[in-house]
Amino acid sequence: MLSANNVLSPAHGRPLVTPTQDMVIGAYYLTAEGEGLPGEGKIFRDLDDLKWAWETGVVHLHARIQYRSEEYPELIETPANGVAATWHSTTPGRVFFNAALPGHDIEPMVVGGHVAKEITFVNRQIGKSELGMIVDDLARGYPKKVVAESLDAMKDACFEFASRSGLTVSIDDVKTPPEKVAILDEHEKRAEKVEAPVPQGHHHRW
C-alpha cells in the first residue's frame, strides 16, 4: 500500500493515505452487526477457530458472539474481586477487522514525552470518519514499519469484504452483449463518413 518511510506527509505531518470508496465499504460491511443470525451466542476464544467456523458456515460474519482472546485483554471484563472473567459480545467481522491492527505486544511510541494513544479493540461499526481516525492514530502512535504492515493488512481485509458484500462492481459484472461487434462496425462506418474528405462548401449526406 505504501512504503514504511512514506507514512506521514513532510508538508503537514498527517497520514498520506486516506481510506476511500471500496475500503470504506469493506470496513463498514465487515464491522456490521445483525440479530438472529446463524451462530448467534456461540463462544470463541481463538481466531483460527472463529475463522474456521465462519468459513464453514457455522457462524455468520455479523452474528453476535462471545469472544475472548489473550490478544485483546481489554475484552475480558473482570469482576471487582478479580476471581473470574467473562466473555465480551462482538462479531466475527469485528474480530477479523481488529486482526489487521497492532497487537498488544506492540507498544505505542513516546511522543513529546507522553505515550501515544494505544489502539484498543474496535467494537463498533466503522464508517469513513472512524476509519480515518484509526489511520491517524496508527500513524501518530506506532513505528513506521508497524503502521505500513497494519495499513496493508487493513487494505486487504477491506477490499476482500467489499467484494464479498456484493455492493461494488467488478469486471465480472460487466457483460459483453452479443451485438457488440455489429454495433462497433456500424459506428465505425458512420465515423468514416464524417472523416472522409468532401469538396469545400459541401455537407455530408447521411
The alpha-carbon radius of gyration of the chain (Å, integer) is: 26
- Amino acid present at 107: E
Residue 56 banded pLDDT, cuts 50, 70, 90: very high
Q: Output the nine-digit C-alpha cell for 55.
A: 468459513
pLDDT for residue 83: 45
What's the pLDDT band for 138 if we cut at 50, 70, 90? confident
Amino acid at 167: L
| pLDDT (0 to 100) of residue 195 | 73
- The DSSP code sequence of the chain is ---TT-SB-TTTSSBS----THHHHHHHHHT---SS-TTTT-EE--HHHHHHHHHTTSS-TT--EEE--TT-GGG-B--TT-S--BPEEE-HHHHHHHTTS--TTSPPPEETTEEPPP-----S---HHHHHHHHHHHHHHS-HHHHHHHHHHHHHHHHHHHHHHT-S--GGG-PPPTTHHHHHHHHHHHHHHHHS---TT-----
| pTM beyond cutoff 0.75 | no
At 15, is the pLDDT very low, low, confident or very high (cuts 50, 70, 90)?
low
Determine which of 38-52, 109-123, 149-163, 188-202 has the lowest per-residue pLDDT on average. 109-123
Give the rounded distance of the alpha carbon of 62 from its chain centre. Answer: 15
Domains and CATH numbers, the chain: 22-172 (1.10.274.100)
pLDDT in tens, 90-100: 999 999 999 99
C-alpha cell at 125: 461499526
